[in-house]
Each structure stands twice: as C-alpha cells, then as structure tokens.
Structure 1
Amino acid sequence: MTFTLFLLATIMNAAMTLLPMSRYEIWWIRGLDFPRVQLITLILFTLLLACWLPEWSHSGNLALFGINVACLLYHCWWIMPYTRLHPVEVKSVPAGKALHPFTVLTANVLASNRHADCLIALVKQHKPDILVTLESDSWWQQQLEALETDYPYTIKCPLDNLYGMHVYSRLPLENSTIEYLVEPDVPSMHTRILLPCGARVRAHFVHPAPPSPTENEESAERDAELLAVARSVAAATLPVVVTGDLNDVAWSTTTRLFRKISGLLDPRIGRGMFNTFHAEHWFIRWPLDHLFHSHHFRVIRLQRLKLQGSDHFALLTSLDFRAGHNNGNRMLHADAEDKELANDKMEHKNVKKSDVPIPVK
C-alpha cells in the first residue's frame, strides 16, 4: 500500500513538473507555473513517505526517490532567487541616504470590495508618489476622488469587467494614454512621470487577462501583451517602471522571458517572494503583483500591505533614482531563441512593440 502511494505521488509530482516545461499555452498547463512552493511541500511529503517503504533501498524505490529529488531541485532552482539566500539584483539604500526617493503603491482592490476607506487610509499613511489601482470601477473612482487634492494628476479607466484601472499621482504626468494592446476590453496605461529632480520616468501600468477557464483558454493574450511592453521598453533611453497585476508569477517562464527581453530588473530578487495573492488563503499564495524597473534605481523598501476586503495584498515599492550609478547587476539576458519566442508570441496575437505608446511630450 505504501509503495502504491509512493508510486502515484511520484507520477503526479513528475507530471506537474514536466508539463510546464512545454510551450503549450492552455490554461491548465500554464497554471502549473504558479504553485512551485506548494509542489516543493508536496514532494517533501512524498520523500518522507519513502521512509516507510519496506526494502526502500530496492533499485525501483531508489529510482522513484531520485525522480522526486530531481523535481525538488528543479522547483527550488526557480524559487531560490526569491529568497534571501540569493544575491540581490538591485542594490539597497537606506531611506535616510536616498537621493531622489520615488514610491509606488500598486493595489488590486477587487471590484466588489467596498472598503475604499482602507485604501485611502493606506495612502495617507504611506504617502506614495503614485497610486495604481486595478479592478477599480466607477464606484471606486467616486470614492477615490477624495485623494485628488493631494494627487491631482490622474489617469482614469473605470470598467465593470474586472479590468478597470486608475492612476493617481502627486507628480506631474505627461502625455498619458490608455491603450487596448491585445484585447478590446483589457486596458493598459502609459505615461511619463516628472520627478522633483527634473528627471522623467517612462511608466507602464498593465493588467492582462489570465489564462483560466473563465477568462482566456490560453495564456497567449497575456504573454503577447507583456512581451510587447518588454520589447518596447528594451530600447528606452529614459528610466522605466512597469507595474501592475501581471496575472503571472515571478517564477514563470513568461515572466522570466519578460525580464530577459525588457532588460528590466526585479527588486524582489534576493529579498523575498512578496506573495500578493490570495490574501485570505495562506496556503495558496504567490506573487501576482509586480514592479520592474530599469537600472536607474536602487531599492529603499519593499512592503506588502493588507488591503481590507480584497483578495490581493497591496505592494508598496520605494525606489531611489540614481542615474549613472552602479545600482545592481542584471542577471538575465535574452539569446536568439528567447527573441524568436517573444516574436512568435506577439505575432500570434498580432501585436507589435510599436503598438505600445512611447510617452513623449
């Protein structure tokens, strides 16, 4: 009986490890990119089960044991960068020594949530320079009007389909646009932020639809939108920030490809996972809300904030603008195969990097 359980668990562990290695974009395969931490836990329990095997040193048992160890190491390879055991990709700077601090609060509010007072309180407490809301509809827009005295620069796209977006800024926003890059009802926002020091930052706010049985059967739409933005910012001369709910985890093949193509840095590398979803279920959490940036910044602080009524935590990211400084080391670079894959995904959904607005005055 114990051997049968061990065998079945090994087959399941191997299948859930091997399937995401494929390039199939169907939702249930791409969904297996998400629970790597949970799979590590499952594999550890499977290895523990092997301790009760009679004659576990038998060659067949050892082979199954080895398969589980290989799966464990593979998932750990993906997860390791998002632990403190890994070197940071972006250098830190204490708040007191920051030259030009810049803070963004990214919050998927959950459209049905009616605790706008909690988000407003977080904004007043942490005083971010930019607030980005996702899933915000007309009701949320009305509630957040209270912020416009302190955040007079706005981009508003209230929608009732879970893809509404709003940006509220203390800092001037230049040439802001709302685009529908891949799907006609899924917007993205593009602007240029004027920092107090006079520097301008190119910013892109995104929330592509996820691969799921209730949204898109495949990840093609999500992947194409993210890669179009990546291709566009790769040639940017200005500092760049890309943030939002990517509906993808930090340790997926798509997000890794985004980092390779864009050349942007991930401030979470070497600092932690900062799992933002699901806020109510600790056992199924993963990082869906992201902020990537160019080499022009150092990290002051990353913090996950409780957002009452939402299924997401909010993500607070404080950066220090330091142009011309050695702010870290980019760890991923695109090769010819990566570029070809990105092109194929974009062509499949008929989106080009030129479709992504370049905010210029």
Structure 2
Amino acid sequence: MWEIYLVFVVLLLILTVLPKVPSSYWIFRVADFGKIQINHFAIITFIVGFLFYKNNFWWYSQTLLLLIIIYHSITLIKYTRYYPVKRIETSTQSASNTLKIISANIYQFNTEFHRFVDLIKKNDPDVFLTMESNKDWEKALVVLENEYPHHHKVALENTYGMHFYSKIRLENAKTHFFVADDIPSIEAHLRTEDGFEFVFFGIHPPPPSPTEEKTSKERDGDLLSVAKRIKEIKKPVIVVGDFNNVAWSKSSVLFRKISHLIDPRVGKAFISTFHAKYRLLRFPIDLMFHSEHIFIKELKTLEKFGSDHLPVFCEFFIDHLNDRQKEKIEKADSEEKAEANEMIEEGKNEEGERDAVTED
C-alpha cells in the first residue's frame, strides 16, 4: 500500500506540473481540464496518507501533497461562493428587461432531436445557440422557427456546425473563420424591443487531444482572434460556446484580458458541462464571458438531452449607466498583447487534422 500511495503522489505532482510547461502539445494542456479532479484526488491521498506512516520520507510526501492542494485551491476557490466578489443581480430603472440565453453542444450524432426541442420550449430562451449541428439538426429545428424567426445557420458535417436562433430582432449577423475555413464563429448584432443593442458571439474552437488536434494552437488562435474582434466592438458583448478550454487556463485568462470581458463564474460556481454522463469526470468547458454593462442574474446548467454536454442557461440584463463592474476588468499589458498576436499567427499556420464527418 505504501508503494501505491507513492505512485499517487508522483502522478499528482506530474499532473500539476505539466500545464506549466510552455508547450501547446496536447499532453501538456489536458491536465488543465482536470484541475478540480486532481485537487480532489490530492485531498483524498493526503488524508489516506496518514494511514501509511513508514519513515521520514513520509513527511516530505505529505508536505508535497499539501502544497499541491494549496496550489490548486488558490485557483479553484475563485470559482466558488467562498470567493469575495461584489454581487450585482438586481437591475436599476435604466436597465433593459431580462434576457435569457441557452448555449448547447448538441453532439452531432445525437438523434434525440425532440428532447432538445422540448428543452427549448420548456425554458423559453430569447436566444439559443447550437454547436455540432449539421443539416439533420437544422431540419429538426425548423419546428422552432415560428417562435424564433431570426436565425443564422452554419451547417457543417465535421462536428463544428453552428446554428443561432433568436426572438430578438437580428440587425446583422456574420460568420467568421478566424484560423481555419472549417471552424466558424457567429457574430450577431441584436436590438431588443426596449431599445437595447448588444452583440452575441458563439464560438467552438477545436480541443487539444490525442484523438483530435495534437496541439492547442488552433483553439488558442481562434479564441484570441475573437478577443481582438470583441475589443473593436463598442456595444455590450456576450460570448458563449464550447470553448474546449477551462476558465483558469493561460489562453482563457489571455482571452479575458485582450477582450476586456468579465468571467461570471468568479465568485459563483464552476458550471461543469462535460461529460454529461459522468458527474465525477465533468469539466467546465462550455464557458461564457461578458462586457461590463451586461449583468448576470443566473448562470447554470440544464438537464441532459442526449448530448455529451449539458446545456448552459444564462439570464442577464443590460445597463449602460451602471459602472459597478468596471473593477472586474483586467487588461493585457504589452507583453501579453504580443504573445496573443503570436498565438493567433500560430493558430492560422497550424494544419488542422479534421475530415468531414458523416454518419454511416
């Protein structure tokens, strides 16, 4: 048992150190996703370790585990209600009516179309976004078009299709292909009935993994291209989607600083979404960021509907005269801006390994 304990200590140390290596290769990036689970295993190993006192080396291993726990906890506590933040959930007289959004990676080969349609009808969002949606999903969602007359569709068969539907007036919409011609992002300019304008961004960059992209270059380049585009927009902005990233990763932090957006999970919750079937192995990779004049009232996951992701539900309002969130904005320095530009170029130059995916 002592040997097994030492194996866990070494493994936890390796998983903690890997993300600090400045490489975009997937093996160095995936440990970022499991920070919550790594910390839980470190705590369990630390507690169980008290049963295995054997020699003086035990003190070193237990101290190392304690340092690992502290290291991860310093980051993770920011995404819990124990982290002190100014909570602003009530609107003022200058605010818009509340708006609701659903963002869902539907899993392209999920054929339980009715479950997702029922979920939309039940929760009645003003806007919803689907990712991995192809022509089959586009046909299945036609039944919602009477209630959602404004839409922008990018049907692809490579698991990167996207569909945007809105009850709110759509003034302009465009599809961006920032780093690759098969990885779309949707930019939609909306105007509410009470006269408020905002911009909705839907994104879904590819993940670094042994079965998909070998590096994070395309993902990071796509995210930071979106961040630079958002910085040019003078309206309130909300960005949602399957980021294939976690909020505490280096590229997510850089995304937030370049775009001047706010992470609504800070001081609230992880909002873990993937994998929908395995609660203990669930990561928060369907993210959301927003500008300072958008105020989040509620952010949560909804029930399963046959996909490998849980959908994300958000309720928010817009208030141009309220500057109480200004202090939450972090800005990139010149070194970080240069690094972001370099990562964008690397993403554009990376050769993707995606083929068109069709069901037999």
Q: Using structure 1 for the length normalisation, give the TM-score.
A: 0.91
What is the percentage of aligned positions where both structures have the same residue? 32
Correspondence for 1:234 among 231, 242, 261: 231
Match of 2:20 in 1: 21
Over residues 194-239 of structure 1, what are the superposed CA-to-partner deviations in whole Å (9 max), with x where a residue is unaligned?
A: 1222222122111011111222110000000001111221243111
Aligned residues of 1:298 and 1:327 also touching (Cα < 8 A): no
Over residues 242-275 of structure 1, what are the superposed CA-to-partner deviations in whole Å (9 max), with x where a residue is unaligned?
A: 1111111122222122112111111121111111
1:345 corresponds to 2:343: yes
Aligned residues of 1:275 and 1:286 also touching (Cα < 8 A): yes
Match of 1:356 in 2: none
Correspondence for 2:106 among 101, 106, 109: 109
CA RMSD of aligned residues (A): 2.0
Query: How many pairs are equivalent?
Result: 348
Aligned residue identity for 1:23: P
Aligned residues of 1:100 and 1:322 also touching (Cα < 8 A): no
Aligned residues of 1:78 and 1:251 also touching (Cα < 8 A): yes
Aligned residues of 1:88 and 1:267 also touching (Cα < 8 A): no
Secondary structure at 1:178 match in 2: strand
Match of 1:354 in 2: none
Q: 1:98 to 1:199 in 2, by over 3 A?
A: closer
Q: Unpaired runs of 5+ in structure 2?
A: 350-360
Correspondence for 1:123 among 109, 113, 120: 120
Distance 1:181 1:268 in 2: 26
Over residues 95-142 of structure 1, what are the superposed CA-to-partner deviations in whole Å (9 max), with x where a residue is unaligned?
A: 999742121110111111122212222222221111100111111111
Correspondence for 1:198 among 184, 195, 199: 195
Q: 1:116 to 1:327 in 2, by over 3 A?
A: farther
Aligned residues of 2:134 and 2:155 also touching (Cα < 8 A): yes
Match of 1:34 in 2: 33
Distance 1:177 1:146 in 2: 23
Aligned residues of 1:109 and 1:307 also touching (Cα < 8 A): no
Q: 1:347 to 1:201 in 2, by over 3 A?
A: same
| Shift of residue 88, structure 1, vs aligned partner | 3.6
Match of 2:214 in 1: 217
Correspondence for 2:321 among 324, 337, 350: 324
Aligned residues of 2:94 and 2:319 also touching (Cα < 8 A): no
Secondary structure at 1:47 match in 2: helix
Over residues 70-116 of structure 1, what are the superposed CA-to-partner deviations in whole Å (9 max), with x where a residue is unaligned?
A: 11111112211111101346621279997421211101111111222
Q: Using structure 2 for the length normalisation, give the TM-score.
A: 0.91
Over residues 19-44 of structure 1, what are the superposed CA-to-partner deviations in whole Å (9 max), with x where a residue is unaligned?
A: 10122111121001001111012111
Match of 2:79 in 1: 82
Match of 1:305 in 2: 302
Aligned residues of 1:90 and 1:267 also touching (Cα < 8 A): no
Q: 1:119 to 1:96 in 2, by over 3 A?
A: farther
1:263 corresponds to 2:260: yes
Aligned residues of 1:204 and 1:241 also touching (Cα < 8 A): yes
Q: Unpaired runs of 5+ in structure 1?
A: 352-361
Aligned residues of 2:218 and 2:348 also touching (Cα < 8 A): no
Aligned residue identity for 2:90: V
Q: Which range is displaced more, 322-331 or 309-318?
A: 322-331
